[in-house]
Structure formats: C-alpha cells, structure tokens
Amino acid sequence: MELKFELNGKKIATVVEADSLLLDVLRSLGCASVKRGCESSNCGLCTVFVDDKPVLSCSVLAARVAGRKVTTLEGLQEEAADFGAFIADQGAEQCGFCNPGLMMNAIAMFRENPHPSEEEILSYLSGNLCRCSGYEGQLRGIQSYLAFKDAQKKGEV
C-alpha cells in the first residue's frame, strides 16, 4: 500500500506492507538512529515522535502514520548535539546503543516539562532501559544540561 507522511520535515511517499512496522520503514528510509532492541514495547530504544509525541516505533504500524508528522533523532540534530555533549561529559554510557532512544525521550520531556524534578526525570525516562550504565550518569548529564540551559537563559554563560 502507498504511504504518505512527513519525516523530519520532508514529505515522503513510499510503499509499505499492511504489517510493516514504523521502525523498519524509518530505517529503510535511512534513519539509522532508530534502533531495534526488544521489539516488545519494553526498552525504549526505538523511540521516535509521531506528531511530536514520543512513541515506540516497534509497536506502531507504518500504515497508521499516514498524513502525520514523524521525527527521528536525525531531525533533531542541533537540540540533540547540545544535550548529547552533557551525557558524554558524564561518561554516562558505555556501548551507547540506548542513546538515541534516551535522547529522543529526554528531549520530549524537556519540551513538556522544562524544569523536571529528579523524581519527574526518573518517572518520564523509566521506559528507557540501559544494560550498561546504572542510570546515575544519565541522570547527572540531564541535570547538568538543564542547569546549563537555565544559566544560559539568565545570561550567566
């Protein structure tokens, strides 16, 4: 079947099967940041935005995004580079496989709640699993990024 949608700001027309998963279609369109982890809605690795909301692309039929706006990490380069540096600074990750999913969901959180408490961060990101780190470094990275953004707004940096 024919599928038309917007991907990272560009209009896309492609052909998919009725049971193609959004994850596979995005990867076939060159979005290698979208990773397949558990493929059972558990790990958060495959997180993308559909109409600006974070969803698990391993559990969304591609057919369902017809006429909608899909964003992957490739479409958020500037925001992601900025934030990613803080995660790297904390040595928060080891293999880095979970990183794109974490970045996507953290960016969704920053947009929804620019001043999250520690509990709110842990709660919002609880669907992003990491096999290597103990989450502490990621939490520190997020908190220092938020502190930096605040200081930037106040003209302190």
Ligand X SMILES: Cc1cc2nc3c(=O)[nH]c(=O)nc-3n(C[C@H](O)[C@H](O)[C@H](O)COP(=O)(O)OP(=O)(O)OC[C@H]3O[C@@H](n4cnc5c(N)ncnc54)[C@H](O)[C@@H]3O)c2cc1C
Is 95 a binder of ligand FES (CB under 6 A)? yes
For residue 127, the tally of other CB atoms under 10 A from its CB is 15
Q: Shortest CA distance to 147 belongs to which of 124, 119, 114? A: 114
Rounded distance, CA 45 to CA 96, Å? 11
Out of ligand X, another protein, ligand FES, none, which partner does residue 116 contact, by CB within 5 to 8 A per kind? none
Closest CA to 111 of 136, 80, 86, 155: 80
In the list 17, 30, 32, 41, the residue contacting ligand X (rule: CB under 6 A) is 41
Q: Cα–Cα distance between 95 and 52 in angstroms, integer?
A: 27
Give the total of residues touching ligand X (CB under 6 A): 3
* Cβ at position 45, least distance to ligand X in Å: 14
Q: What is the smallest separation between the CB atom of 59 and ligand X, expressed in angstroms? A: 8
Q: Which stretch binds ligand X (CB under 6 A): 38-46, 77-85, 89-97, 147-155?
A: 38-46
Q: What are phi and psi of 97, to 5 degrees?
A: -65, -35
Contact residues toward another protein (CB under 8 A) are 1, 18-19, 40-42, 44, 47, 53-56, 59-61, 63-64, 66, 105, 108-109, 123-128
Find the shortest distance in angstroms from Cβ 4 to another protein: 14
Please report whether residue 44 would count as binding ligand FES according to CB under 6 A.
yes
Question: CA geometry: angle at 105 spanning 54 and 2, to 5°?
Answer: 35
